[in-house]
């Protein structure tokens, strides 16, 4: 609930939708953060510049960005609901896939 409430507050602050903020955070900012860690570890900045350039292009030239975010949010929700097959409900799969795994991956990247 903490993550969802934070994303909702960010959406309200920037006068956009929860879905758009969710997609920007999980598809853009989190991978960009990982790329920056990798770039600092390798002393090369091509990866983070590529990710940043890609998302800058999307944000600048996608005139249907909010609608596209709604589509990708629905696909993300479908993916998380797939885990019902192993006994996880939507909340459990959200916490594991969207909170625990990114934190674990970040820690591993930092320790390498």
Instruction: Give the pLDDT confidence of 89-103 residue by residue, as tens digits.
Output: 999 999 999 999 999
What is the pTM (predicted TM-score) of this model? 0.77
The answer to whether 91 touches 100, Cβ cutoff 8 Å, is no
Give the single-character DSSP code of 9. Answer: H
Q: What is the mean pLDDT of residues 59-74?
A: 83
64 three-state secondary structure: coil
Find the angle CA(50)-CA(35)-CA(5) to the nearest 5 degrees.
Answer: 110
Q: What is the mean pLDDT of residues 32-44?
A: 85
Q: How confident is the model at residue 36 (pLDDT cuts 50, 70, 90)?
A: confident
Rounded to the nearest 10 degrees, what angle do helices 30-42 and 101-111 cross at? 10
Looking up tokens 């591993």 gives 108
Mean pLDDT, the chain, integer: 88
Q: How confident is the model at residue 59 (pLDDT cuts 50, 70, 90)?
A: confident
- Which of 107, 102, 108, 94 is CA-nearest to residue 30? 102
């Amino acid at each position: 609930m903490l993550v969802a409430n934070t994303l909702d507050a960010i959406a309200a602050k920037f006068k956009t939708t929860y879905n758009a903020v969710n997609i920007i955070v999980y598809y853009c900012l989190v991978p960009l953060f990982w790329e920056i860690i990798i770039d600092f570890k390798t002393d090369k900045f091509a990866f983070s510049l590529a990710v940043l350039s890609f998302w800058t292009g999307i944000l600048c030239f996608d005139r249907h960005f909010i609608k596209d975010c709604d589509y990708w949010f629905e696909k993300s929700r479908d993916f998380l609901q797939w885990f019902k097959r192993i006994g996880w409900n939507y909340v459990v799969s959200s916490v594991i896939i969207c909170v625990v795994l990114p934190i674990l991956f970040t820690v591993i990247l930092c320790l390498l």
